[in-house]
C-alpha cells in the first residue's frame, strides 16, 4: 500500500474529513496554533460545535485569531484548561476527538503534553464518545518526554477492551 501522506497531521485531517459531518460535536484536546480547530470548525459548520482545550494562553490566542480571520469562531468554544478536565466543560456526547500531542510549535518547548493527563483525558473522552465516534492521537516522540508519553499511551490503548469501553 502506498502512503501518499506527507505527515501525521495530513493523515489525521484525511481521517477527520472522512468522518466529521456538518452539525457534529467534536473535541480538539490540544488547540495549539489552531490548525486542527480551524479544520474541525470548517467540517462541522455553523450547526456544529468544536471544543478546543489548551493550557497556554498563547495557544488559545493564536487559535482565536485564526478562527476570527476565517469567520469560524461562532461554532468554537476555546477553553484554557488541561485536557484532563474535559468533564468539567463538556457535557455533550462527542462525535470525534483529536489529540495532537507534544509542544506548541513556535512556543516554549518545555511546556509539553504529559502521559498522565493525556491518558486521563483519553479515558474521559471515551466516556463522552458516541458509539460510532472516532478518536485520533497524533503522537510525537522526538522531544524531551515524548517517548515516555508515546509508550504510556500505546500501552494504555493497546490494553483497552473495546467491548467494555462505554457501550
Tens digit of each residue's pLDDT (9 = 90 or more) over 71-96: 999 999 999 999 999 999 999 999 99
Enumerate residues 6+ apart whose C-beta is below 8 A from 151.
Answer: 115
Q: What pLDDT is recorded for position 140?
A: 86
Those residues with Cβ within 8 angstroms of residue 158's Cβ, 6 or more apart along the chain or in another chain: none
Residue 2: which residues within 8 A CB-CB, separation 6 or more? none
Q: Would the pLDDT of 3 be above 80?
A: no
Q: List, in order of start, the domains of the chain with CATH numbers.
A: 22-158 (3.40.50.150)
Quick: pLDDT tens for 24-60.
999 999 999 999 999 999 999 999 999 999 999 999 9
Higher pLDDT, 164 or 108: 108
Q: What is the rounded average pLDDT of the residues 115-142?
A: 93
pTM: 0.92
Q: Are 121 and 99 in contact (CB under 8 A)?
A: yes
- For cell 468533564, what's the residue? 87
Amino acid at each position: 500500500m502506498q502512503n501518499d501522506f506527507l505527515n501525521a497531521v495530513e493523515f489525521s485531517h484525511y481521517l477527520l474529513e472522512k468522518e466529521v459531518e456538518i452539525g457534529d460535536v467534536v473535541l480538539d484536546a490540544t488547540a495549539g496554533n489552531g490548525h486542527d480547530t480551524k479544520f474541525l470548525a470548517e467540517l462541522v459548520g455553523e450547526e456544529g460545535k468544536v471544543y478546543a482545550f489548551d493550557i497556554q494562553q498563547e495557544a488559545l490566542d493564536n487559535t482565536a485569531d485564526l478562527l476570527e480571520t476565517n469567520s469560524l469562531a461562532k461554532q468554537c468554544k476555546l477553553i484554557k484548561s488541561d485536557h484532563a478536565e474535559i468533564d468539567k466543560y463538556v457535557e455533550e456526547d462527542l462525535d470525534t476527538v483529536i489529540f495532537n500531542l507534544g509542544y506548541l510549535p513556535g512556543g516554549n518547548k518545555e511546556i509539553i503534553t504529559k502521559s498522565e493527563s493525556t491518558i486521563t483525558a483519553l479515558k474521559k473522552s471515551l466516556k463522552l464518545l458516541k458509539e460510532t465516534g472516532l478518536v485520533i492521537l497524533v503522537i510525537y516522540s522526538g522531544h524531551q518526554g515524548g517517548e515516555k508519553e508515546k509508550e504510556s499511551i500505546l500501552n494504555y490503548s493497546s490494553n483497552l477492551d473495546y467491548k467494555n469501553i462505554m457501550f
